[in-house]
Amino acid sequence: MPSREVPLSLLHERVNGWYAEAGRKELPWRAPDATPWGVFLSEVMSQQTPLSRVEPIWREWMQRWPTPADLASAAPGDAVRAWGRLGYPRRALRLHEAARAMVERHGGEVPGRPEELLALPGVGAYTAAAVSCFAFGIPEVVVDTNVRRVLARTREGKAFPNLTLNRAEAQLAADSMPAERSTANTWNVAVMELGALVCVARGPRCDECPVADLCAWNVAGRPAYDGPPRRGQSWHGTDRQVRGELLRRLRDAHAALPLARLEDSADDRTQVMRCLDSLVADGLVEPLEGERYRLPA
């Protein structure tokens, strides 16, 4: 379906105006005094994780490690333990590695330029663009799942974007950016927030949407999605669940545990050992003599 010609200036005005009234500006990393480090932490923590779960962990990290140097001086295992149950715990190790890189390369500061951010461990295109924009006011094109969904609906008339970001979607996001710097920076967070709160994946609240009358998908009668199947992620019985249980036991123990205290983390001992080996390979668990394991020191 070809893109509908949406008046972009009106789209920007409506979405940015809606954000001024309804956006979650109480989030601590959106406060005027938020530090670049606080923004950086929030962007890494919130990947594939609801902000309601991120905020308490973010506050704990900022109290314990208010600067990159503070985290860099801690043990990697401390970062994994403090990560709690946010999910995808490799992010905790990558944050620790990124903090060390900031100390070694940037005097303990978060770099502002996208190319410098991209050179940090674990930082991809989205995080680099988001930190540049939200921490330093550089109007990079910030594209996450929420942004892709809003643009697919408003400008292309599709219920959902493609399963993965492609070049055409990236170009659509770039073309949809306001030209003026401050308006562009507001747009980046506003369109993301619209996707998170109103233009949601299931049960979109079109009656609350500030651009419902401009939205190609809504105007067309909200046609059903006709692309490849969009399967949700399973959890129970998966390696992800077993890895999470192994890490939970090691976090709660605050000490090395013998294999006997870990091998019943699932009914299938073979699966447990496979997951334990994968955690060791990822650097999230450290094996010790006598078949004992701990978080990395």
CB 123 within 8 A of CB 117: yes
Would you say how long the chain is, in residues?
A: 297
Work out the angle at residue 10's Cα, subtended by the Cα atoms of residues 5 and 16, and round it to the nearest 5 degrees.
125
Would you give the distance in Å from CA 123 to the centre of its chain?
A: 11
- Does the active-site annotation cover 43? yes
Cα-Cα-Cα-Cα torsion 44, 47, 53, 54, nearest 10 degrees, comes to 20
d(CA 277, CA 283): 10
Strand order in the sheet with 292-294: 257-258, 292-294, 286-288
Cα-Cα-Cα-Cα torsion 96, 276, 124, 71, nearest 10 degrees, comes to -10
Q: Which of 21, 26, 43, 193 is catalytic?
A: 43
Nearest residue to 142 via CA among 158, 121, 163, 126: 126
DSSP, collapsed to helix, strand or coil, labels residue 258 as strand
DSSP, collapsed to helix, strand or coil, labels residue 192 as helix
Q: Which residues contact 157 (CB under 8 A, 6 or more apart)?
A: 1, 3, 4, 216, 217, 219, 220, 223
> 165 burial class (0-12, 13-18, 19+ CB within 10 angstroms)?
middle
d(CA 86, CA 252): 15
Catalytic residues: 43
